């Protein structure tokens, strides 16, 4: 079986796809019976060296020469962003082409439009590389775990944030120092907001949740908090208490048609598998109703890991046609019954760091306010002495809405210096 491919976007990942096809096309055909034939590559810049040799006649600056070509079966979209990627993807599908992409932002925002168009055009849409780079998490959920209802998902799915938090922990760096190191080493953009504010993680959680829970979970449904407020002080206290701080995308099935979905820093017990996921590596820990807990770990970004996922989608498409991801997306559009519970009514345990004046009755006042809102203190640490000192508390389970109200009241006390830092604890 031969699949003729058109590649739109000849950047870092596109060059990785070409490298893999040049090196491994023969062995892939031997293993799978699928011949992957790269027919054309489109990019606005076709003169810059990409570290891979390509015959000049394969190159074009016009995406239309791929979208509407009779000799191309599958379009790989690697432009990224919303436009013109959206227009290219939809046009290609309407022209009868199946599409493979790594574009998590596009899929998260235009999920329903993309799969509706795929269904109407009777073509396939694959996006393994959109979450977790080379980790085959989407195919695991849609195929390997198809007999299961996914109950819970915990994802460390942004390498930039994980690198920063790892360096803060291992090298005792402040956030700004760790961010600068990440930028120097090429793990963070010059403008890192998309990563450190949690948006990238939320896009990926949106995709995983939509596939797992039978309804489109949009970015607007997800509560998002990044890592910019995490300090070395919090990292140190977490260690002392037996925890590690990670940015986690969390999604849990609460009932047949209701879930919770959020992105925020989480204190993970140091004996949990996710606590050992460091540097730029990614991991997705999920729980299925039949298989129980499982963890998928690997390189979540980079040229060749991401390109590897794209090539695997090409082979999957050749064997399965529309595949299970299209089937699940169609179910999403037909039923569309999933609801995302507001975080105010979600319960968890919490870490609190309150900076308060060191004098009698302050701790009693804080405890009184917490008690007024039904929040019970599990433990409390106050080691330092001085005019203002950190008070570290771990709570028992409490509703987030009640906790936020209590914190606002505590922060309004005259003896409180700074805003209280609040980090949820992983409850499993």
Which of 204, 246, 252, 322 is catalytic? The answer is 204
Count of CB atoms situated within 10 Å of the CB of 294: 15
Q: Which two tokens stand for residue 73?
A: 């079966």
Question: Pairing relation of β-strands 150-156 and 243-255?
Answer: antiparallel
What separation in angstroms does the CA of 285 have from each of 54, 85, 296, 317? Answer: 39, 30, 6, 26
Could you tell me which of 80, 67, 78 has the C-alpha nearest to residue 17? 78
Give catalytic status of residue 204 as yes or no: yes
Which residues does the annotation mark as catalytic?
204
């Amino acid at each position: 079986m031969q699949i003729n491919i058109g590649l739109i976007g000849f950047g870092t990942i596109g060059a990785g796809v070409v490298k893999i096809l040049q090196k491994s096309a023969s062995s892939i055909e031997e293993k799978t019976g699928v011949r992957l034939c790269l027919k054309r590559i489109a990019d606005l810049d076709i003169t810059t060296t990409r570290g891979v040799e390509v015959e000049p006649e394969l190159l074009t600056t016009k995406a239309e020469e791929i979208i509407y070509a009779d000799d191309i079966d599958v379009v790989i979209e690697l432009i990224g962003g919303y436009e013109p990627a959206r227009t290219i993807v939809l046009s290609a599908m309407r022209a009868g082409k199946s599409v493979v992409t790594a574009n998590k932002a596009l899929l998260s925002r235009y999920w329903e439009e993309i799969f509706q168009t795929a269904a109407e055009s009777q073509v396939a849409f694959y996006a393994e590389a959109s979450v977790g780079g080379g980790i085959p998490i989407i195919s695991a959920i849609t195929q390997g775990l198809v007999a299961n209802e996914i109950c819970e998902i915990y994802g460390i799915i942004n390498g930039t944030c994980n690198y920063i938090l790892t360096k803060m922990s291992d090298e005792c760096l402040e956030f700004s120092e760790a961010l600068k190191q990440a930028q120097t080493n090429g793990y963070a953009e010059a403008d890192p907001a998309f990563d450190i504010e949690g948006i990238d993680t939320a896009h990926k959680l949106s995709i995983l949740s939509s596939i797992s829970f039978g309804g489109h979970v949009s970015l607007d449904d997800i509560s998002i908090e990044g890592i910019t407020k995490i300090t070395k002080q919090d990292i140190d206290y977490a260690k002392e208490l037996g925890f590690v701080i990670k940015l986690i995308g969390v999604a849990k099935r609460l009932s047949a048609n209701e879930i919770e979905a959020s992105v925020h820093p989480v204190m993970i017990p140091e004996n949990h598998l996710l606590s050992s996921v460091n540097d730029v590596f990614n991991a997705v820990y999920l729980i299925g109703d039949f298989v129980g807990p499982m963890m998928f770990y690997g390189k979540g970004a980079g040229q060749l890991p991401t390109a590897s996922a794209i090539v695997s989608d090409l082979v999957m498409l050749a064997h399965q046609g529309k595949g299970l991801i299209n089937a699940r997306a169609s179910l999403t559009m037909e039923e569309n019954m999933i609801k995302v519970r507001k975080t105010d009514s979600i319960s968890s345990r919490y870490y609190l760091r309150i900076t308060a004046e060191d004098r009698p009755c302050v701790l009693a006042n804080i405890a009184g306010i917490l008690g007024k809102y039904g929040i019970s203190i599990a433990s409390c640490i106050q080691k330092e002495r001085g005019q203002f000192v950190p008070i570290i508390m771990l709570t028992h389970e409490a509703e987030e809405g009640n906790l936020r109200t209590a914190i606002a009241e505590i922060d309004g006390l005259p003896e409180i210096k700074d805003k209280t830092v609040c980090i949820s604890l992983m409850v499993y």
